[in-house]
Amino acid sequence: MSTELPGGEFHNRRVDGGRARPILRQNVKSETLAKDAALPHKPVAEELAFVRKSFKELIAAYSTQVEADLAQLQIAVAAESDSKKKLPASRVVDLRDMLMLLRSFDIKPAKGRRRDLKKIEGLVEDLRDIVDRWE
């Protein structure tokens, strides 16, 4: 991606390790940049707005996906309790394992930490592995 700088010069973005880093061309004069230092604030604000919007969309999509996974697990467990058949011993053991996983699950949502999201992902994955054995 190239963007025009004050004085008609351009810079490119290079992605290193997941982060975009500007590459300034050598012929850009520092006086020109210092003179027009206030000009880049609008594009930066626009880029920040875009990143913010993208982040909100990402969180919404992630939340929808995790909630759908949890709803499927809940439906599977409810179907087991609604069945008129006697549960096999292995299924009872699986349900107890699930209960232990759920009761030992501990997060602090108010802190908004990534590691809590990873814990939720891990819990859903473990529960899904157990339920998948039922089929």
* Residue 24 near residue 40 (C-beta atoms within 8 A): no
| Between residues 10 and 89, the one the model is more confident about | 89
Highest mean pLDDT among 21-30, 77-86, 101-110: 101-110
Q: Across residues 90-117, what is the average pLDDT? A: 95
Q: Across residues 89-110, what is the average pLDDT? A: 95
State the Cα–Cα distance between residues 128 and 73, nearest whole angstrom: 7
Tokens 């520092």 locate to 30
Q: Is the pLDDT of residue 19 over 80?
A: no
* Residue 129 near residue 76 (C-beta atoms within 8 A): no
Q: Across residues 22-36, what is the average pLDDT? A: 53
pLDDT classification of 20: cutoffs 50, 70, 90: low
State the Cα–Cα distance between residues 7 and 69, nearest whole angstrom: 53
| Between residues 15 and 114, the one the model is more confident about | 114
Q: What is the pTM of this model?
A: 0.65
Domain ranges, ordered by start, for the chain: 2-36, 52-132
Q: Is the pLDDT of residue 115 over 70?
A: yes
Output the CA torsion sign for 15, 16, 22, 25: negative
Q: Is the pLDDT of residue 67 over 70?
A: yes
| Between residues 25 and 93, the one the model is more confident about | 93
